[in-house]
Amino acid sequence: MIGCSCPVCTSDDIKNKRRRCSLYVVADGHHLIIDTPPDFRDQVLTFGVERVDAVFLTHPHADHIYGFDDIRRFSSLQKSHIPVYGSPRTVKQMRKKFDYVDRTSYGFNSVPRVQFRDQREPVKVGYNLITPLPVSHGQDIIYGFLIESEEKRLAYIPDCNAIPDETAELLHNLDAMILDGLRPKPHPTHFTIDECAEQLKKIGAKQSFITHITHNSEHHELQQRLGTAVTVPWDGLLVEL
């Protein structure tokens, strides 16, 4: 947190050094990114990401999209346009906020070369099936995503304060569930830590993770509080399913 000298913000423990939420998934030889936050360039450099075959965006809030320009490096390296999926509202906002992307006057390597695609239904990237998961984020309906590959099922919902019944029905037989749990105190657009833990218990995935954690929670104290049922992740955590 900018300008904060609390024990978490000044901690030397790398597990308390939290960038904004993003997920990198490698499945069936394809490389998927969910969200491009302002930290995106630092994230991909730190963790050695060298390829992106598709981008999926949960919603157009600044903390989830404002690293998008650095997709240009991947389209340049790959010499191809990269598909970018999101809800129609998200795609509309992306075209507005990054209006230069569609201009033909720039050289190929000067801007992210992408193909924006409205997503209302599941799409395939290779043999991977990616299904949008509509959830409530305050007054907005935004997306999480379900990724199915080689009989493995991963769901990722980083911003959420309510899960509609239609979405909850898709959250079954999961190998991993990653869910928003912002802080101990209530928030108008995010699950609290306790609400997240309750939802994760209800979903019953083989592995459960809490995300979007603020500086209100110290990593090890939170892990001790949640016990073994929920993993408190850290930047760069690698999970194999």
Q: What is the mean pLDDT of residues 11-40?
A: 97
**211 domain-assigned:** no
Q: What is the mean pLDDT of residues 105-109?
A: 83
Nearest to 20 by CA among 43, 53, 47, 46: 43
pLDDT at 107 over 90: no
* Residue 21: per-residue pLDDT: 94
**Strands of the sheet with 176-180, listed across from one edge:** 123-125, 128-137, 140-149, 152-157, 176-180, 208-211
Percentage of the chain modeled with pLDDT above 70: 100
Q: How many domains, in total, are found in the chain?
A: 1
Q: What is the mean pLDDT of residues 122-146?
A: 98
pLDDT at 105 over 80: no
pLDDT at 192 over 80: yes
Q: What is the mean pLDDT of residues 148-152?
A: 95
pLDDT at 122 over 90: yes
Q: What is the mean pLDDT of residues 186-193?
A: 98
Confidence of residue 104 (pLDDT cuts 50, 70, 90): confident
**191 domain-assigned:** no
Print the domain residue range for 29. 20-173
**201 domain-assigned:** no
Residue 60 belongs to a domain with what CATH number? 3.60.15.10
* Residue 230: per-residue pLDDT: 98
Chain-centroid distance of CA 160 in Å reads 12
Which regions of 61-211 does DSSP assign to beta strands (E)?
A: 82-86, 114-118, 123-125, 128-137, 140-149, 152-157, 176-180, 208-211
**223 domain-assigned:** no
| 84-87-93 Cα angle (round to 5) | 80
pLDDT at 96 over 90: yes
Which segment of 108-112, 193-197, 201-205 scores lowest on mean pLDDT?
A: 108-112
pLDDT at 108 over 90: no
Task: Report, in angstroms and rounded to the nearest whole number, the Rg of the chain calculated over CA atoms.
Answer: 18
**222 domain-assigned:** no
Per the document, the length of the chain is 241
**181 domain-assigned:** no
**206 domain-assigned:** no
What is the average pLDDT value for the chain, to the nearest integer? 97
Question: Residue 211: helix, strand or coil by DSSP?
Answer: strand
Percentage of the chain modeled with pLDDT above 90: 96
Q: What is the mean pLDDT of residues 36-48?
A: 97
* Residue 84: per-residue pLDDT: 98
**28 domain-assigned:** yes
